[in-house]
Amino acid sequence: MKQIEPLEQVSASAVLDSLVMAGRMVEQRVEEALQPHGLSAAKLSALEVLAGAEEPMALGVLSHRLHCVRSNITQLVDRLEAEKLVRRVPDAEDRRSVRAAITQEGRNRYEAGCRALREVQSQMLRLLPRSEQETLARIVGRLLAGGK
């Protein structure tokens, strides 16, 4: 007879691997949904913050809001500016600072991107009954809370 195997270790890492794969799958689907609109998740996030702001926002502030490093924003805004979705405006009060202002074209693209995003999101959520969505949110929330 075959010995019972100690599956804990292997199945344990499988949970985390699946979690990572699922996260990537969601990201992938979002990127695909945004692509026809000439947007990416990174660009949409930046536009979302800028669209919700009252005035042009300093790049340092934007980097905090997007949980990334300053130099990342420099390049992201470079790309957004090249597509005329955002404009760099000087800050009169602090001449070290550069602010990003969303353009009308930026707002339009942002709205279109949002619709595509909501579409693909509800499509994915249809894969899970409401109760499992709540369970997933709870478990993943605990994981995030525990993660340093």
Residues binding DNA (CB under 7 A): 40-43, 58-60, 63, 67-79, 88, 94-99
Q: Which of these ranges, 50-58, 73-81, 90-98, 126-134, lies near a copy of itself under the rule CB under 8 A?
A: 126-134
Give, in order, the Cα–Cα distances in Å from 90 to each of 29, 86, 96, 101. Answer: 37, 13, 9, 10
Two structure tokens written together for 20: 């990572």
Separation of alpha carbons 19 and 41, rounded Å = 20
- Considering only 6, 15, 59, 64, the residue that binds a copy of itself (CB under 8 A) is 15
Separation of alpha carbons 69 and 62, rounded Å = 10
2: partner contacted, choices DNA, a copy of itself, none (Cβ within 5-8 A by kind): none
Kindly state the smallest distance separating residue 1's Cβ from DNA, in Å.
41
Kindly state the smallest distance separating residue 74's Cβ from DNA, in Å.
4
Two structure tokens written together for 24: 């990537």
